[in-house]
Amino acid sequence: MKDYLQKLANREDLTFTEMNEVANLFFSESTTDSEIAAVLMGLQLKGETPEEIAGLVEVLRQNALPFQKNIQEVMDNCGTGGDGSQSFNISSTSAFVIAGAGVKIAKHGNRSVSSKTGSADVLEELGVSLDFSMEEVNQLLDGNGIAFLFAPHVHPKLKQIMKVRQELRIPTIFNLIGPLTNPVKLQSQLLGIYQREKLVLMAKALRQLGRKRAIVVNGAGHLDEASLAGENYLVLLNKGKIKEFTIKPEDVGLNRYSLDAIKGGNARQNAEILLRVLKGEKGPYYETVLLNAGLALFAHGKATSVKKGVQLAEVSIESGLALEKLNHLIRYSDKRKNGVVHQ
C-alpha cells in the first residue's frame, strides 16, 4: 500500500490494475483504517480518473454476493445522491415504469443519503423485502422484469470501508460509485449525478466497465435526476462513443415545473406519491417520472429517441403494467414472510 499512497501523495493517477490492487487491499485484515482513509483522501484531492473508478468498482462487484446467471439486456437507473433537493423517489418510481415498458431492471439502491427517503426506505414502506437472495433476484428478473437489490445486503464486506467513510465526513470516490457497483451484469444504465463537471468522467467509467449504452444526466437545478425545471445536461455513451447533449421538458412534450413541485417527504409520504404516479395521477411528479423513464428507455435502446421513450413510459403507466410490476414484488415479498417462497 505504501507505494500507492506515495503516488497519490504526488498527485499521480493510478492505473486500472493499480486501483484493482489497492481495492483488494481494502479487504485485507492487515490494512488499517488510516491507510484506507489516506487512499480516499488522496484520490479526492487529485481528482478521480475513469480508470480508478472502474478499477475500484470491479473489485467491489467481485466481493458482492455472487450473481451467476447472465440475464440479457438488464439495466439500472440510479443517481449518486448528494443533490440536497429533498425530491420524491424519482428513480424508484421510474424503475417500475421502465419495467412496465418491457425492459428488465435490476434496481440497486440504499437508504436515504441526500433525500429524506432513499429507495430502500420507500420500498420497505410499500412492503417490498430488502434481503432478496441472488437466486431470488434471478427469479424476479425472469418472471417480473424487475428486482430490488439493497446495497448493504449485496455488499456485506464493505462495513470497514463504510466506517472510515463515516468518520471522514467528506465526499469521496464512494459518493460517485454507488450506481456502478450493481453485482448484476448490466448492458445499459441511466446514471444521475449532481456534479455537472463529472458527466463525461462517469460516462468514461461506464465505458471502461463495459456498458454498451448509457446516459449520464445532471438535471436542471443540479439534480442527480432529470428535472422539469429547465435545461438538463446529458452524456450519451453508445458503442464506445461519447456525445454530450441537452434537453428541456418542452423538447419532449412535457411542462416546466419548479423544483419545489417535486419535493417529497418521509417514507410513507413518498410511498403515496409513488403509488399515485403509477396509478396515473397527472402533475409534476407524473411528468418527472415520464422524463426519467423516457431517458432510461432511450439509454437502453428500447426507444429510438427520448421523446419516444416518454411516450412508451406513458403507455406503461396508463396500461397498468407499471403498477403490476410493483404489486408482483409486494406479493412475492409477502409470500416470503409467510414462508411460502423458498428463501
Q: For residue 343, is pLDDT > 50?
A: no
| pTM assigned to the model | 0.95
Q: Is residue 138 helix, strand or coil?
A: helix
23 within domain boundaries: no
pLDDT tens-digit series, residues 218-265? 999 999 999 999 999 999 999 999 999 999 999 999 999 999 999 999
125 within domain boundaries: yes
Could you list the residues known to form a binding site, using ranges.
Answer: 79, 82-83, 87, 89-92, 107-115, 119, 165, 224-225
91 within domain boundaries: yes
Q: For residue 115, is pLDDT > 80?
A: no
pLDDT tens-digit series, residues 139-179? 999 999 999 999 999 999 998 898 999 899 899 999 999 99
By the 10 Å C-beta count (0-12 exposed, 13-18 middle, 19+ buried), 103 is classed as: buried
24 within domain boundaries: no
25 within domain boundaries: no
Q: For residue 342, is pLDDT > 70?
A: no
Domain that holds residue 189: 74-154+181-328
Q: What is the mean pLDDT of the chain?
A: 94
243 within domain boundaries: yes
Q: What is the DSSP letter of 108?
A: E
130 within domain boundaries: yes
Count of H-run helices and E-run strands, the chain: 15, 7
pLDDT tens-digit series, residues 277-293? 999 999 999 999 999 99
Could you list the residues known to form a binding site for anthranilate, using ranges.
Answer: 79, 110, 165
229 within domain boundaries: yes
Could you list the residues known to form a binding site for 5-phospho-alpha-D-ribose 1-diphosphate, using ranges.
Answer: 79, 82-83, 87, 89-92, 107-115, 119
Total domain count for the chain? 1
CATH number at residue 282: 3.40.1030.10
